[in-house]
Amino acid sequence: MRIGILSFKAISKVASKEEVRLKKVAKAKGHTARIFRSGRFQLVYDGTARRLLYDGKLFPKYDVIISRVSVLRDIDLNISIIKQMEMMGIPVINRYTPVIKAKNKLKSMQIMDHYNIPIPKTAVIRSTKFVDLAVKSVGGLPVIIKSPFGSYGVGVTIAESKRGLKSMMDWENTNMYMIQEFVKFSKGKDIRVFVVGGKVVGTMMRSAGRGEFRSNIELGGKGSKVEITEEEKDIAIKAVQALDLEYAGVDILRSKEGPVVLEINANPGFKALEQYTGIDVATPLIDFAIEYAESKKPLFYGNGG
């Protein structure tokens, strides 16, 4: 098999640890594997079949592409190359539309709520006029305020007072504020559930550092092994299916009322998970990519076909 890993990191930066690890695992299994960099693609619409070029040459025939969308802004534009691959019949995981849904916290909340997947109480407001309503709807202070497009914990803040909350509501030109119930019960811990092809392949507990409520590893959070319940497994799998992703990292908080899904990452890091828990998630991801490619074979026309 020819397995491509599609990296969205700036060309000036090296590929991520995860991208390199996926390539190594695929190669060790005897496959051809290569990391492609999104900035080196060209799209050409000139009435011929040369639509997708890489460094000016026809994009070679690959059996499956694993996308690693790390961009945070103008997602739909930045990942149009994924759409192009899909239109040409190249199997890609994760796909264009599910990635766009997952990168937008508001969109993913809407979908999860629609499918009755438990989420923290959330109110979305566009003006400080509705702060009272929002705080009341999510059960009172303190509350969490976040932007629909944050990542790595950036832009996730806690407000202890309404005055504080109002002063935080000017940081973004989107004027879209997600006010969320602060799930205190979880005590700065959350659970990362790594789902591939509808199965849980790895789990990790993340604990926030001292004086921090956010458990992101990038902010000093520490990982550890954790056993999750059948209910938690079930919720994580349902969340990934609701967004139509082939693989994802689901963040779950243990609230007083039971597990709630915080977010679904369409480009989940797994370096920390593998290091802290010793669980190999790269191998099941590569195995699934191969299985996926095989199931899509009749549809595959390749470049220009």
Ligand X SMILES: Nc1ncnc2c1ncn2[C@@H]1O[C@H](COP(=O)(O)OP(=O)(O)O)[C@@H](O)[C@H]1O
Q: Which residues bind Mg ion (CB under 5 A)?
A: 251, 263
Identify the helix (H) or strand (E) that includes residue 158.
strand 156-159
92/262 with CB nearer ligand X: 262
Pairing of strands 92-93, 222-224: unpaired
Residue with Cβ nearer Mg ion (98 or 249): 249
The CA-to-CA distance between both ends of the chain, in Å, stands at: 19
- 14-73: contacts with ligand X (CB under 6 A): none
- Shortest Cβ distance from residue 262 to ligand X (Å)? 5
Angle between helices 80-87 and 96-103 (to 10 degrees): 150
Please, what is the minimum distance in Å from the beta carbon of residue 185 to Mg ion?
Answer: 18
| Contacted by 63, from ligand X, Mg ion, none: CB < 5 to 8 Å by type | none
Q: How far is the CB of 184 from ligand X (least distance, A)?
A: 7
Q: Which is nearer to ligand X, 63 or 181 (CB)?
A: 181
Q: Which is nearer to ligand X, 67 or 151 (CB)?
A: 151
Q: Which does 301 bind (CB under 5 to 8 A by kind): Mg ion, ligand X, none?
A: none
Residue number with CB closer to Mg ion (263 or 274):
263
Q: Least distance to ligand X from the beta carbon of 281, Å?
A: 18
**Site track for ligand X across 132-151, x = CB under 6 A:** ------------x-x---xx
Local structure of residue 14 (DSSP, 8 states): P
Which residues, 6+ apart, have CB-to-CB distance to 253 below 8 Å? 120, 183, 186, 190, 191, 259, 260, 262
Which of 67, 216 has the CB closer to ligand X? 216
Tokens linked to 137: 């709807």
Token pair 């993340």 is found at 206
Does 99 interact with ligand X (rule: CB under 6 A)?
A: no
Residue with tokens 């639509």, as numbered in its chain: 51
Nearer to ligand X, 88 or 248 (CB): 248
Residues 184-223, mask of contacts with ligand X (x by CB under 6 A): ------x-----------------x----xxxx-------
**Exposure letters 159-189 (e unless 16+ CB within 10 A, then b):** beeeeebeeebeeeeeeebbbbbbbeebebb
Enumerate the H helices of the chain as residue ranges.
17-28, 75-78, 80-87, 96-103, 105-114, 131-137, 162-168, 230-243, 271-277, 282-296
Chain centre distance of CA 46? 34
Site for ligand X in 247-276 (CB under 6 A): 251, 253, 262-263
Tokens of 87: 């239109």
Give contact residues for ligand X (rule: CB under 6 A). Answer: 120, 144, 146, 150-154, 156, 180-183, 190, 208, 213-216, 251, 253, 262-263
